[in-house]
Amino acid sequence: MQPEQPWSKGEFAILVSTPRMSHDALSVELDTRSPGAIAVVREGICLWHRRMDTHDILSRMMTTFLETRRGDLTCHKCKERF
């Protein structure tokens, strides 16, 4: 299996700004990301806003990005604002 390329900030910005899109629809938008890969990152975001350990799911870029946007985000999984 080909190792997955790290997510770019641009791709992650699209993911966090589209919590209402399905994994499938978002994978069309982000054409190098599979619905499964998107699901994993979204699961990581849900763990992060519930203050659980995400170090093996989310990169440093991702957690820094989430910190800077805190208060302005909606979780895809549980629809909670954080």
CB of 82 to Zn ion, least distance (A): 7
Residue 46 interacting with Zn ion (CB under 5 A): yes
Judged by CB under 5 A, the stretch of 20-28, 36-44, 54-62, 70-78 that binds Zn ion is 70-78
Binding residues with Zn ion: total (CB under 5 A) = 4
Which DSSP symbol is given to 33? S
Judged by CB under 5 A, the stretch of 3-11, 17-25, 55-63, 67-75 that binds Zn ion is 67-75
Write the CA distances from 38 to 7, 26, integer angstroms: 10, 8
Residue 75 interacting with Zn ion (CB under 5 A): yes
Write the CA distances from 67 to 39, 78, 80, integer angstroms: 20, 19, 16
Residue 57 interacting with Zn ion (CB under 5 A): no
Run of H or E including 37: helix 35-49
